[in-house]
Structure 1
Amino acid sequence: MAAPSLSTVAELFKPITWFPPMWAFACGVVASGAALYGRWTPAVIGVLLAGPLVCATSQAVNDWFDRHVDAINEPQRPIPSGRMPGRWGLYLALLWTLLSLAVASALGPWGFGATVLALALAWAYSAPPLRLKANGWWGNAACGFSYEGIAWVTGAAVMAGGEMPDLRTLALAALYSLGAHGIMTLNDFKAIEGDRRTGIRSLPVQLGVTGAARTACGFMLLPQAGVVALLLAWQQTGHAAAVLGLMGLQALLMRRFLQAPLERARWYSGVGVPVFVAGMMVSAFALRGAV
């Protein structure tokens, strides 16, 4: 059986999805307060591991186990279109899992352990018998925790020489993981028909388009309010004001999104989510300044 082209493999791995975990890892690096001098190697390895390896693995796993759903929602994707024939999708998911583990071994116990957890969640999200994505509450939580929380905490731990990050880092990572639950819901709007027909209870399927849109916005805004409260408690007033300003901009964009959520979910992902993640980095610098 002919091997898929490199462009098809790249499409399977979806490079556009690599940014959130790479950014979160970078936030952890900044929040650690550690100097980059002499620590560039683990920082670069960690960023590459978070995106082109672990996140790419999760995309391949998802496409393989969602091939019947994609045949309804997005038949042009590599597997349902036939451009990636046979079991190539599964083989690549397995290969990238092993490659991720091999690279993670260079980051010590924290980096390796976090990679094992992230990969376990990636497989549990898509593959039976768990298939967490079958329920939007659990599936989106797993993605948010993996993409944001694990990556952030790992970045901080690796830069601190393997030490447990302090409670401030853990608190911000947890809050932004909750916020990412809403971001993941945005991705479900494009797959409502296939999800409904194949028994996947995404939030748009469970709550309807309007209910899911409002829930997504709530998940994104409320944890950021918690971030602002913590930054004020830590006397990082300027950073708190910056995050609050970014929240105000998101609220304006959300107002337009909520007017037509089905049509504008992709639009909001493109313009609103970057504002959300900008707040993550502002918060990371606040921790660095408070060290």
Structure 2
Amino acid sequence: MSVSLGIQASRRRPEPRAILTLIKPITWFPPVWAYLCGVVSSGVPVMSAPWLVLIGMVLAGPVVCGMSQAANDWCDRHVDAINEPHRPIPSGRIPGRWGLWIALVMSAAALALGATLGPWGFGATVFGVLAAWAYSAEPVRLKKSGWWGPGLVALCYEGLPWFTGAAVLSAGAPAWQIVVLALLYAVGAHGIMTLNDFKALEGDRQTGVNSLPVTLGPERAARVACWVMALPQVAVIALLTGWGQVYHAAAIAALLGVQVWAMRVLLSDPKGRAPWYNGTGVTLYVSGMMVAAFAVRTLV
């Protein structure tokens, strides 16, 4: 143990594998998926501008989302020392201020890449970069709020990429139906972010982060998360039915039905089952997003 600590203390440069861990590739899927939902919902053939699709996927996932993870880990290094001391920064595998420099360089790279997607893509990138820092960094640090913090992350993970994908492919503002669906799924994703906060419950308590699991307790927070995830999907089903997309609405209703079953399992042991639900219920949730994207593409 003492040898390991000595190596960490003397390290001057980060481990390459630690940098990859820092930007958390597993978190890239939601914004990439949401961007593709926007592309599909636009009704524009993907092969008409494949480079815009590819650049947008790289921007939404590895670059902007990866940057947000680096910024969050840097700003959360004291919390992670309690919750996850093995993380790259508290463990010393990324020493000194390297975590900050990585986040700043990736912020600049995000803006440069976003500029290649035209004014709508660049504007969305600026919003995403600012939101990432507002969530994690003092003095704003919206992460301290169990309502505003998860809400901002949900918007940037689901709503913003969806809007961006549709705007970039359409070369203009998306149809209002697309905007409404993107916002509804972003609202529902607030519940997903609340469940994600369960893993940091102890550290959040000690460092003054007022997540919903901290302020409401695990049981009540899980119930709130379930309602927040379910109600927007009910609204989506109603809208699609009203727009004549009955089969798509029925498919989302079926997916929601399975989610309700998974929610009942979650509520039997919220803290213990939260990771399981994130792999089960969330998959069903995002599947419904793509179904809705295919439904709306025939309306715009």
TM-score range, shorter chain: over 0.9
CA distance in 1: counterparts of 2:31 and 2:180, whole angstroms: 17
In structure 2, distance between residues paired with 1:191 and 1:43: 34
Report the alpha carbon displacement of residue 6 of structure 1 after superposing the two structures with TM.
Answer: 1.4
Q: Counterpart of 1:131 in structure 2: which amino acid?
A: R
Whole-angstrom CA distance in 2 between matches of 1:98 and 1:290: 37
Q: 1:278 aligns with which of 282, 287, 298?
A: 287
Name the CA distance, whole Å, in 2 between partners of 1:37 and 1:87.
Answer: 42
Alpha-carbon shift at residue 38 of structure 1 (Å) = 2.6
**Amino-acid identity (%):** 57
Q: Which residue of 2 aligns with 1:168?
A: 177
- Aligned equivalents of 1:182, 1:155: Cα separation in 2: 23
- The one-letter code sitting in structure 2 at the alignment partner of 1:125 is Y
2:257 to 248, 256, 276: 248
Separation (CA, whole Å) in 1 of partners of 2:53 and 2:93: 35
Counterparts in 2 of 1:101-250, with a 5 A limit? 101-161=111-171, 163-250=172-259
Instruction: Describe the SS at the equivalent of 2:147.
Output: helix
Measured against aligned partners, the alpha-carbon deviations of 1:244-270 in whole angstroms (never above 9, x if no partner) come to 000000000110010001001011001
What CA distance in whole angstroms lies between the structure 2 residues aligned with 1:146 and 1:215? 21
Amino acid at match of 1:74: E
- Number of residue pairs matched by the alignment: 290
String of CA shifts for 1:220-259, please: whole Å, max 9, x gaps. Answer: 1000000001101110000000000000000001100100
Tell me which moved more, 30-39 or 87-96: 30-39
Match of 2:55 in 1: 45
Residue 266 of structure 1: which of 267, 275, 283 is its match? 275
Distance 1:7 1:57 in 2: 16
Q: Give the 4+ runs in structure 1 shifted more than 4 A.
A: none
CA distance in 2, matches of 1:30, 1:12: 31
TM-score (norm 2): 0.96
Contact 1:124 1:132 in 2 (8 A): yes
TM-score between both structures, scaled by the size of structure 1: 0.99
> What's the secondary structure of 2:216's corresponding residue?
helix
Letter in structure 1 aligned against 2:181: L
The answer as to whether partners of 1:236 and 1:290 remain within 8 angstroms in 2 is: no
| Alignment RMSD | 0.7
